[in-house]
A and B are shown apart, each in its own frame.
Chain A
Amino acid sequence: MTTQMKAEPPLGRVIVITSGKGGVGKTTSAAAISAGLAKLGHKTVVIDFDVGLRNLDMTMGCERRVVFDFINVIQGDARLKQALIRDKRLETLSILPTSQTRDKDALTKEGVEAVLDELKREFDYIICDSPAGIERGAHLAMYFADEAVVVTNPEVSSVRDSDRVLGLLSSQTQRAETEGAEPVKAQVLLTRHDRARVDRGEMMTVEDVLEILAVPLLGIIPESQAVLRASNVGTPVVLDEPSAASRAYEDAVARLTGQEVEMRVTGERRPGLFHRLFGRSA
């Protein structure tokens, strides 16, 4: 895969991928967005804040290369360089995995800040994959963020949790607590969007979600088999074969870097009846 290298000093922008609710696609999105940014040539690192679960390294396909982790670095048992894993597919992409055997209390505010400060000197984008909930882990994942991607599914409970998280972003972050600082720039990423279910009234429409959350829309990711397939083989979906989901993530990444890209609502092309009945033997 080809990447263009850049010569400017690193941007050092911290972006948290958060949601409140679990299972909505945060880790999938953190993997896809960081890989998408790296593919555009931006030096990118993605950090797993979900201590105890440790899903990110599997989604990125580097679980067997983990020696030291984020917690080791915070506790001074390893240097950052030893814990960072360089992606095999993209030289601009690194992963900072977390520990599966420690608990959330192993994270400290000072420790997280020190690690982020060191990463800012080297990377353009620092993507923080937040755990679910609104407690310590999620709080620390968002605390130092410049920007937030609030991952939301088009259903009532997910929208409500996202709303709650938006409230925390505007009150419980370093930017919120610093007089005169720009607030955290928050955008919604609508994932697992199933057009057929929206049409049948089983899911909320994009308009309904945005009306409630009242923040800009970063993208709409369709419900897609391609996501499951990619995550099963440990490949961020944007590095797998092109699909509606990978294109939607690429559009979202372009918007994240400030480009204007028209919003399209795609769905997986569903095979017609004829193909469903006869496609396999043909």
Chain B
Amino acid sequence: MSSRHANERPTRARAVVKPFQIRGRFLTALALRLEGGPPDVAFYEALDEQLQQTPQFFSAAPVVLDFARAPGIATPEKIRDLAHELRERNLLVFGVQNAGPIDQSALQSMGLIPLGPGRDEPGPDDAARRKRGVEKLLPPDNKIVTAPVRSGQIVVAERGDLTVVGSVASGAEVVASGNIHIYGTLRGRAVAGVHGNVNARIFCRKLDAELVAIAGLYKTSDTLDPAARDRCAQIFLEKEKLCMEAIA
């Protein structure tokens, strides 16, 4: 089992229809990626251990069930059991992905929504792929922020690198599809390679993060490498492992 960041694309459109407004919202969720057979006692023990180690990471985080590596267990009954067990543990399960052709009304009755890209659904999948194709053709759109990123703020570079000239506060979040450069202290969350770029890196002048993630692999403040903590550091993936090292 591994946890991944799943991301919904933000919608730029902002239609004003009184008496309410519709706004696109960028949502970062945790994806619980299931592997192998149906969840057993050992699975739940491992999960409970993980929850105990990093409780703050899971508290209030929306969770998606990802069946990409366990297609055999994506049946309504198994999903119902799993969702029930997770909700018992106060995880906010709201969606499934890569569940194959599954009965929509069954999902709906469990309060779950299917999230793209649903590989076996012809309609939405084509649209999603087309959209991705179009985005690949667009030039990169790097972003530079010249002010500190404050607690409660989220800055996203959808297609490219993000550079912050200043610090990223505790409770703030910076997200990029490419690299993230922080000329200041990283105290909040930094999520690089958000669309799966395993070559993305995070650089910061001082590492004191609540969370760092690259292409879905993450570490939290209590699992930061002591050798890099409070130092000028870079964070990168090597052989599917998140590494961090002091530089300069």
A134 to B187, CA, bound (A): 21
The answer to whether A160 and B148 have CB atoms under 8 Å apart is no
Contacts of B150 in A (CB 8 A): 163-164, 166-167, 170
Of B147, B151, B172, B187, which one neighbours A170 at CB under 8 angstroms?
B147
Of A160, A168, A211, which one neighbours B170 at CB under 8 angstroms?
A160
The answer to whether A167 and B152 have CB atoms under 8 Å apart is yes
The answer to whether B166 and A214 have CB atoms under 8 Å apart is yes
Does B50 sit within 8 A of A, measured CB to CB?
Answer: no
Does A5 sit within 8 A of B, measured CB to CB?
Answer: no
A226 to B22, CA, bound (A): 51
The answer to whether B148 and A214 have CB atoms under 8 Å apart is yes
Does A212 sit within 8 A of B, measured CB to CB?
Answer: yes
A74 vs chain B, min Cβ distance (A):
22
Does B76 sit within 8 A of A, measured CB to CB?
Answer: no
**What would be 15 A-B contacts, judged by CB atoms less than 8 Å apart?**
A160-B170, A160-B171, A163-B151, A164-B150, A166-B148, A167-B149, A167-B153, A167-B169, A167-B172, A168-B152, A170-B150, A171-B153, A211-B185, A212-B169, A212-B187
The answer to whether A214 and B167 have CB atoms under 8 Å apart is yes
Per-residue interface assignment for chain A, residues 194 to 234, with 1 indicating a CB less than 8 Å from any chain B CB and 0 otherwise: 00000000000000000110100000000000000000000
The answer to whether B167 and A212 have CB atoms under 8 Å apart is yes
A161 to B171, CA, bound (A): 10
List A residues 121-139 near B (Cβ within 8 Å): 134
Per-residue interface assignment for chain A, residues 150 to 168, with 1 indicating a CB less than 8 Å from any chain B CB and 0 otherwise: 0000000000110110111
Contacts of B166 in A (CB 8 A): 214
A166 to B185, CA, bound (A): 17
List B residues 168-212 near A (Cβ within 8 Å): 169-172, 185, 187
> Which chain A residue has the least Cβ–Cβ distance from B152?
A164
A44 vs chain B, min Cβ distance (A):
30
A259 to B171, CA, bound (A): 35
Residues of B contacting A: mostly: loop
Contacts of A214 in B (CB 8 A): 148, 166-167
List B residues 141-168 near A (Cβ within 8 Å): 147-153, 166-167
B167 vs chain A, min Cβ distance (A):
7
Per-residue interface assignment for chain B, residues 42 to 80, with 1 indicating a CB less than 8 Å from any chain A CB and 0 otherwise: 000000000000000000000000000000000000000
Contacts of B169 in A (CB 8 A): 160, 163, 167, 212
Q: Sort chain A's interface into a size bin.
A: 10 to 19
Contacts of B147 in A (CB 8 A): 170
A125 vs chain B, min Cβ distance (A):
26
Contacts of B187 in A (CB 8 A): 212
B172 vs chain A, min Cβ distance (A):
8
Given contacts A160-B171, A212-B167, 6 further A-B contacts (CB under 8 A): A160-B169, A161-B151, A164-B150, A164-B152, A167-B152, A212-B169
A140 vs chain B, min Cβ distance (A):
18
Contacts of B152 in A (CB 8 A): 134, 164, 167-168
> Which chain B residue has the least Cβ–Cβ distance from A163?
B151
> Which chain A residue has the least Cβ–Cβ distance from B166?
A214
A211 to B169, CA, bound (A): 11
Q: Which 9 A-B pairs have the closest CB atoms?
A: A167-B150, A164-B151, A163-B151, A164-B152, A163-B169, A167-B153, A163-B150, A214-B148, A160-B151
Contacts of A161 in B (CB 8 A): 151
List B residues 94-109 near A (Cβ within 8 Å): none
Contacts of A167 in B (CB 8 A): 149-153, 169, 172
**Which of A166, A168, A170 neighbours the largest number of chain B CB atoms within 10 Å of its CB?**
A166
A110 to B166, CA, bound (A): 35
A214 vs chain B, min Cβ distance (A):
5
Contacts of A211 in B (CB 8 A): 185
A155 vs chain B, min Cβ distance (A):
13
A212 to B166, CA, bound (A): 10
A188 to B198, CA, bound (A): 41
Per-residue interface assignment for chain A, residues 164 to 183, with 1 indicating a CB less than 8 Å from any chain B CB and 0 otherwise: 10111011000000000000
> Which chain A residue has the least Cβ–Cβ distance from B187?
A212
A163 to B149, CA, bound (A): 9
B214 vs chain A, min Cβ distance (A):
25
> Which chain B residue has the least Cβ–Cβ distance from A156?
B170
**Which of B153, B166, B185 neighbours the largest number of chain A CB atoms within 10 Å of its CB?**
B153
B150 vs chain A, min Cβ distance (A):
3
A12 vs chain B, min Cβ distance (A):
27
B206 vs chain A, min Cβ distance (A):
10
> Which chain A residue has the least Cβ–Cβ distance from B171?
A160
